[in-house]
Amino acid sequence: MKTPPRYTAARMAGRGGASSSAAVLRFPSGAQAISLTEAAGAGGHRQGGTLPAILVVDDNPDILDIYRKILTGDDAVSTQALSALEASIFREDAGPEIAHIAHIAHIVFPLDLVQDGRQACGMAQQARRDGRPYAVAFVDMRMPGGWDGLETIENLWRVDPDIEVVICTAYTDYTLDETMARLACPDRFLILNKPFEKIEVLQLACALSEKWRLQRARQTRLDELERRVEERTLQLQEALGNVRHQASHDSLTGLPNRVLFMDLLRQAVACAKCRGGRIVTAFIDLDRFKWINDSLGHHIGDELLKLAARRMCACLRDTDTVARIGGDEFVLLLPDGGSAEESMRIVARLLAAVAQPMTLAGRQVTVGCSVGCSTYPEDGDDADALLRFADAAMYRAKEAGGGKVQLYNVELSERIEQRVLIETELRRALERGQLALHYQPQVDLRSGRIDGVEALLRWRHPELGEIGPARFIPVAEEMGLIAALGEWVLRQACAQGKLWQDAVATPVRVAVNVSAKQLDCSGFPFLVAQCLSDSGLAPERLEIELTESAAMENPDKTVLLMHRLKELGVSLSIDDFGTGYSNMNYMKQFPMDRLKLDGSFVRGITTDPKSLAIVDAIIAMSHRLGLKVVAEMAETEGQVVCLANRHCDQVQGYYFSRALPADACSKLLHSGALPLPAQIAGAGQERVLLVVDDEAQVVSALQRELRPQTDRLLCAERVDEALELLARHPVGVILSDLRMPQSNGMELLNKVRLMYPHIVRLILSGEQSFESVRSAVNRGAAHKFLVKPWDGRELKDILNEAFDLHERLLLEGARPARL
C-alpha cells in the first residue's frame, strides 16, 4: 500500500523517544492568554471553554490518550522541538526579536475522544444542535469493525459541513487520488502521517481552529450583511410603496388623486368598450368652502375636507371610486352606472351626506355640493372629455345657486366649445392689440359735472365680434391670466388719466375695477404705486374699485390691503354694493371713499317700492358713514330724478353716456358738464364762495387758486362786510380767517351758524392754537380747519366736498353735519 505524503502545519524534530515540546498561541496586542479546564477524559465527555472544541476519532485507546495529553496540556511539547520550530521560522541572527517566545502558554482545547465513526457523527450532530459545534476532527483512516476514516468524514460533513478534518494514517487503503475524489473538498482536510510529532498535532489544532473561527466569523458577518441587505430591501420596498402611494393619492384625505383617477377612468372606458355598460363621471365642488377656509382657518378647512371625504366614501359601492383632484374639488367614478335612476340615487345620497352639519374644533359648519355628471357612452367615449364635460356641468350647477346636480347636455357642449375658443383667443388678444379701455362718465347730480370715469375693458375680436367682460374675465381668472390682464388695464388707465390730468381743467378721477384674484396678490399695492410712478398720475386721480363679494371673501386681509392703498393716496370704492354678503362690522372698518349702488336696485326704483326702500337705506347709511354714493346703470330720466331726490351724489349709466373710447370721452370732459333733468331740485344752482380775510395777498392767492372751483367768488375783509354779502348772495361755503383786526372770525362763524345753518363753514388761519380749533369745532362754528400756508390740491378737494355738503343740506333741510 502507498503511503500518502505529509500535509502538516510544521515539521518537527525526529520521531522516537520522549520529546518535550510546547506551542505558542498568538493573540492581538493587549489580549490575554486563555487557559481552559482539563478535559475529563475519553468517552465523549468534555468540559466547556472559550477555545473551539476538537473531536478525535480513533479505534486505538492508547492513541486517543496521546491526543488527550497533547491537546489538554498533560504532556508538554519538548523545548527542543519548540526551538527547532523557532529556528525554522525565524532567522538565526534574530536575537532579541524572538525573546518573547519564552512566554509560553499551555493550550487547553475542549476535547471529545471517540473510537467509532457512527458515535462521532452522532456527537457532531448533537453538538451542532446545541450551538457548540466542533472546529476540528482528527480521524484515523483504518478503524476495523465499523466505518473507516473516509466514510466517517463523509458522514461528519453531512451533519456538520463546516468542520475541519485532519486525516491521521500510517497505512491507508486508498490512494491520494481516490481520497481526493471521495472527499471532493481538498481545502477542507489535511493528512497527518503516523507516527506524528506532538507539536504537529498542536499546531494543526491551533491553525485549523483559527481557520474555522475565521470562517465562522466571516459567515456571521456575511449573514449579518445579508440580513441588513434584506432589511434594507424591505425598507426600500416599503419606501417605494409609500412613494407610489403618495404619487397616486391625496396626502390630506388619502383618496386617489387626479393621476390615479384618470387611470381608473381610462380603464373603465376601455372595459366598457369591450363588454358594454354605462359609466357615470361626476365632478363635485364644495359650496362655501373658500369662505369657511378663509374665515375659520385652514386647519378647519382641512378637517372639513377629510370629513367630507369619509362621508362620500361611506355612500359608495365597492366598485365605485371617489378622488380629490385639488382644493375643494372631488370626482366620482361609477364604472357600473346601471340605470340613470340608480346612479342619480348614489349621487343624491352623497349630496345629502356631505350636507349634514359638521362639528369641527367646537364649531358647527354646514357645506353643500355642486355636482356635474357626464355619462359614457351618451356624452362621450374619451376619459378626458367625460371629465371635462362633468366639470362644465358642475359650473352650471354652481351658477344655478349650488347644492344641485346638473347633467351634461348639448347646450353645455356649445358653451364649452365657445369657452375653449375664448381661452385660445384670449391668450393672443393682448399681443394682437384686440383689447381696449372705454370710459363711462360718473356725473354729479348737483352740478352736472363729470367728477370721474370708470375704465371698462372691451375685447373686439375680428371674427367673434365684441366679447363682453362677463364672458372673458372669469375665463381669464381660471386660466391665471387675470394678473397680466389687470396690470395692463391699470397701466393703460393711469396713462390716460395722466393725459386728462394735463389737458382737462376740472379734476377727473379714473376708476379701475379690481378682481378677487388680484386682491389675493400681496404685491398689488406695490403694482399700483409703480403704475402711478411710471405714468405720473396724481394718486388722488386714481380710484380702485373692489366688488363687495371680493372684499368680503377675506375681510381681514381686505382691510389691511385697503389701508396700504390709502397710504398711497388713491381713492377707494366698493362696487356692486348690496349684492354680496356684507358684514357691517367690516364695512365700517374699510377706509373707503365711495360706495357704488348696484344697478339691480336702480332699475326698479321707479316701479318697485322695495328697491326704492333699499336705495333710500343705503344712501342714508353711506352719508352717515361719510361716504359718497354712486348709482350704476341709471338709464332713464325717471331713475336719475328719483336718485337726485334721494340725495344720491353721482350716477353712472346710459342716460348720460355709454362707455366711450378715450378720444370721445376726452371731448366730453372738455365740455365741462352735462345737462341735468329740469325736474331735479337745485339744478343749475351756483356755487358761491365767500372768502373773509384782511390780508390782500392771501385773498388774491385764494382767488387765483379757487376761482375755477366756483361759479362766483366773493371777498370780505371785515365781519360786517361779510354779513352784508351773506344777506345779498346765495353763499354755499364761507372760508374765514380766525384772527382779524377789529373783528373775530369765531364771532362771524357763530352768527353764520345761527342765521344760515345750510352754509358750510371753513376756517383758514395761520394760528394753530389747539384750544381755538377745538372750541370752534365743538361749538359747531366750523366744519373744517385749514392751516396757512395751504396745500392747493387739498384745499380744492375740501372745497368741493363742502359745496356737495351744502347742496345736500339744502335738499334735506336738516342741520349740518361735520365733513
The answer to whether 160 touches 125, Cβ cutoff 8 Å, is: yes
The answer to whether 529 touches 568, Cβ cutoff 8 Å, is: yes
What is the structure's pLDDT at 662? 92
Which element (helix H / strand E) includes 295?
helix 289-296
Provide the CATH number for the domain formed by 1-246 in this structure.
3.40.50.2300
Per-residue pLDDT band at 292 (split at 50, 70, 90): confident
* CA distance linking residue 684 with residue 383, whole number of Å: 68
- What proportions of the chain, in percent to the nearest 5, are helix, strand and coil? 50, 20, 35
Phi and psi (nearest 5°) for 91? -65, 155
Q: What's the mean pLDDT in 509-526?
A: 84
* CA distance linking residue 227 with residue 339, whole number of Å: 56
Mean pLDDT of the chain: 79
* CA distance linking residue 649 with residue 594, whole number of Å: 10
The answer to whether 469 touches 491, Cβ cutoff 8 Å, is: no
- At 47-85, the pLDDT tens digits run 334 688 999 998 888 888 888 888 887 654 444 444 444
Place of cell 374644533: 361
pLDDT of 405 strictly over 50 = yes
What is the structure's pLDDT at 265? 92
Domains 1-246 and 688-812 share a fold: yes
pLDDT of 427 strictly over 50 = yes
pLDDT of 319 strictly over 50 = yes
Which element (helix H / strand E) includes 762?
strand 760-765
Q: What's the mean pLDDT in 87-108?
A: 44
pLDDT of 367 strictly over 80 = yes
The answer to whether 43 touches 99, Cβ cutoff 8 Å, is: no
Q: Is 174 exposed, middle or buried (0-12, 13-18, 19+ CB in 10 A)?
A: buried
83, HSE (Cβ side, Cα atoms, 13 Å): 5
Q: What's the mean pLDDT in 322-336?
A: 90
Q: How far apart are the first and last CA of the chain?
A: 135
CA distances to 505, 654, 660 from 603, in Å: 33, 12, 22
pLDDT of 701 strictly over 80 = yes
pLDDT of 637 strictly over 90 = no
Ordered by start, the domain boundaries in the chain are: 1-246, 258-408, 439-670, 688-812
What is the structure's pLDDT at 300? 87
What are 17's three cell numbers? 523517544
Per-residue pLDDT band at 114 (split at 50, 70, 90): very high
Which range has the top average pLDDT, 50-54, 180-184, 654-658, 774-778?
A: 654-658
The answer to whether 216 touches 204, Cβ cutoff 8 Å, is: no
Q: Picking from 275-279, 665-669, 676-680, which range would have the lowest pLDDT averaged per residue?
A: 676-680
What is the structure's pLDDT at 777? 65
Query: 398 or 541: which carries more pLDDT confidence?
Result: 541
Closest CA to 107 of 192, 31, 38, 177: 38
pLDDT of 638 strictly over 90 = no
Q: What's the mean pLDDT in 458-473?
A: 84
* Superfamily (CATH H level) for 688-812: Response regulator (3.40.50.2300)
Q: What's the mean pLDDT in 636-643?
A: 85
Q: Is 464 exposed, middle or buried (0-12, 13-18, 19+ CB in 10 A)?
A: middle
Per-residue pLDDT band at 512 (split at 50, 70, 90): very high
Residues 6+ apart with CB under 8 A from 339: none
Identify the CATH class of 258-408.
Answer: alpha beta
Query: 221 or 609: which carries more pLDDT confidence?
Result: 221
Which range has the top average pLDDT, 43-52, 415-424, 427-436, 781-790?
A: 427-436
Rounded to 5°, angle at Cα 610 from 609 and 611 = 95
What is the structure's pLDDT at 98? 36
Place of cell 377727473: 508
Q: What's the mean pLDDT in 169-183?
A: 72
pTM of the predicted model as reported, rounded to 2 decimal places: 0.48
- At 228-249, the pLDDT tens digits run 999 999 999 988 888 888 888 9
pLDDT of 137 strictly over 90 = yes
Query: 35 or 648: which carries more pLDDT confidence?
Result: 648
Q: For 249, which DSSP code?
A: B
Amino acid (1-letter code) at residue 776: A
What is the structure's pLDDT at 747? 80
Neighbouring CB atoms inside 10 A of 269's CB total 21
Q: What's the mean pLDDT in 659-687?
A: 80
Count the helices and strands in the chain (H runs, E runs).
28, 29
688: phi > 0 → left, psi -120 to 50 → alpha, else beta; which? beta
The answer to whether 777 touches 747, Cβ cutoff 8 Å, is: no
Provide the CATH number for the domain formed by 439-670 in this structure.
3.20.20.450
Query: 4 or 717: which carries more pLDDT confidence?
Result: 717
Q: Is the peptide bond before 377 cis (omega within 30 degrees of 0)?
A: yes
- At 469-495, the pLDDT tens digits run 888 888 887 777 888 888 999 999 999
Which residues, listed in sequence order, are joined to residue 660 by a DSSP beta bridge?
439
Per-residue pLDDT band at 432 (split at 50, 70, 90): confident
